[in-house]
Chain A
């Protein structure tokens, strides 16, 4: 029998704020252990949590990006459990009145090849609620170490409907979510820094059936590779159980990245008795409609909307939009350049997707040079493309100019002048003489041109450029060539 998987995700995303969600101490990653705590974080007796306005704003912003409804009122609940990652015996979260309800995320499934766009689909969201992150445990020999720096960081838990059917779709969802939330300035979603973590609910059923079999929840997925491998493993495991005539037990399982398998977290069932109740220390939040609308108006364009716009109105190919749109920094760079020089979007996009990315990668250090450290500004790139389009720079010379601009941060015209690469207005008599010589040396293209092959005279451009050390204006060359070739008839 053929089986199919049904997957729902719970994604935890750290919201970008300067201070924690219910305490005023700052947030941070990579700080010395236990340096980002205060009496509220440590759960000392008599402390009073106070909600960070910006954390709510970020949660609402996230909800609007994800198409959620923002209920008029949301409230805070205690989720009770004992575990050393929390200094008090409960986590502050939202149980039955979350900040965001519903919503949907557009995803792009893998295409048949890297350079071909994949199918798009919408994944429904159940809800998203705001809660406090917990501390970090490090396990040693026979003990564990606790660092509470992360405790109290605002965390948005985004819950999907069981709308995903493979590990590839789950990964596509996480990628789309990351793009949307980073664009919106809501979170950096860096999985390596724990800013985005994921639990997956997985069940399998006979292909084509509409029943939902018992599911397992896989915890501890904190990399894209982990998500892919754990889901694939769990689908294989459950399929194997049914194929052997067994039943899948509803349970929580842990992904063991080293062993490449999921293992049961037995004894966890009882801990699910969380005894939620409204937190008496925190008042409900009523988020004013006009503030919601103000945030909605200020939202950036969603990634796939932008991609469609670039493809439809700017006529950019998928190979360029998939580089520029999927990285919000590049998209902004492109937009800024386009605002300065709007005549040639494709050339701008090409320079950004190819030359800029290549040069960023060539800089010493790990990965790409951060975009904010790139000295060459979007307006400089716009100027470079303008110089090419007006014939002041040849494409060939522009390559050299680009690298120099990238390294020095100088403007295009300044670099071209300094390197003597500007197409100079030649003594047109001298240029014409060179053209005559080149045509005389090879009469075949001229004859083809006269027979109607307009492109044939391009064969002369290379030798002429060589003779002028690349400084001749390509337009002028074409004009002279066309005139000479036609006249020599």
Chain B
């Protein structure tokens, strides 16, 4: 396991869309490192002959019938929106261009 300085904390923060102070970066890099170390312990388990599994519970097919249920009113749907216009949520312009 590399030491905490090997974690690109700026990259991780950017992916999560959070901004961190230098102190926070230091703190979180260490915490993240500890998490990774903890998960490393999984590597010591003998999984010879065990099929990879997508879910901890051995169940499949939790399905529902295709019947439309209730919808939010627009008022409910937009209740958390910081800004709205024309019954839509207003966000900063997001055109993916140069």
Minimum CB–CB distance for B36 against chain A, Å: 14
A-B contact pairs, 13 of them (CB 8 A): A24-B64, A34-B72, A34-B78, A34-B88, A37-B72, A51-B64, A139-B94, A141-B93, A144-B90, A145-B91, A263-B98, A283-B55, A283-B59
A56-B63 contact given A34-B88, A37-B72, CB 8 Å threshold: yes
Q: How far is the CB of B50 from chain A (nearest CB, A)?
A: 16
* Bound CA span A282–B57, Å: 10
Closest chain-A Cβ to B56's Cβ sits at a distance in Å of 8
Task: Pick from A142, A268, A273: contact of B15, CB below 8 A.
Answer: A273
Total contacting residues, chain A, CB less than 8 A: 62
Does A280 count as interface, using CB distance less than 8 angstroms?
yes
Residues on B with C-beta less than 8 A from A146 are 88-91
Q: Evaluate whether A18 and B66 lie within 8 angstroms (CB atoms) in the complex, with A145-B85, A148-B77 already known.
A: yes
Nearest B residue (CB) for A58: B66
B86 and A144 form a contact (CB under 8 A): no
Interface flag for A432 (CB, 8 Å): no
Interface string of B57-98 (1 = CB under 8 A from A): 101111111111111111001101000011111111111111
List CB contacts (< 8 Å) of A7-46 with chain B. Answer: 17-19, 23-27, 32-39, 41-42
The CA of A284 and the CA of B71, in the complex, are separated in Å by 27
| Residues of chain A with a CB closer than 8 A to B67's CB | 18-19, 24
Question: B residues engaging A (CB < 8 A)?
Answer: 14-15, 17, 54-57, 59-74, 77-78, 80, 85-98
Question: What does the 1/0 interface line of A263-291 toward B look like (CB < 8 Å)?
Answer: 11111101001010010101111100000
Of A33, A34, A50, A142, which is within 8 A of B62 by CB?
Answer: A50
Could you tell me the distance between the alpha carbons of A270 and B93 in the complex, rounded to whole angstroms? 19
Chain B's closest residue to A25 (CB) is: B71
Asked whether, in the complex, the Cβ of A36 is within 8 Å of the Cβ of B71, the reply is yes
Question: Count the A-B residue pairs with Cβ separation under 8 angstroms: how many?
Answer: 148
Q: Tell me, rounded to whole Å, the shortest Cβ–Cβ distance linking B98 to chain A.
A: 5
How far is B67's CA from A53's CA once the two chains are assembled, in angstroms?
Answer: 10
> Known: A25-B68, A145-B89, A278-B55. Is A283-B61 also a contact (CB below 8 A)?
yes
Minimal beta-carbon separation of A409 from chain B (angstroms): 33
Give chain B residues whose Cβ lies under 8 Å from the Cβ of A122: none
Nearest Cβ on chain A to B87's Cβ, whole angstroms: 5
Which residues of chain A are near B90, meaning CB under 8 Å?
A: 143-146
Contacts of A268 in B (CB 8 A): 96
CB-CB under 8 A from B59, the residues of chain A are 283
Q: What separation, in Å, do the CA atoms of A267 and B96 have in the docked complex?
A: 8
| Known A24-B70, A42-B77, A270-B15; 12 more pairs at CB < 8 Å | A17-B66, A33-B87, A34-B78, A36-B71, A52-B66, A53-B66, A54-B66, A55-B66, A80-B15, A278-B55, A280-B56, A286-B60
For window 204-249 of A, CB contacts with B under 8 Å fall at none
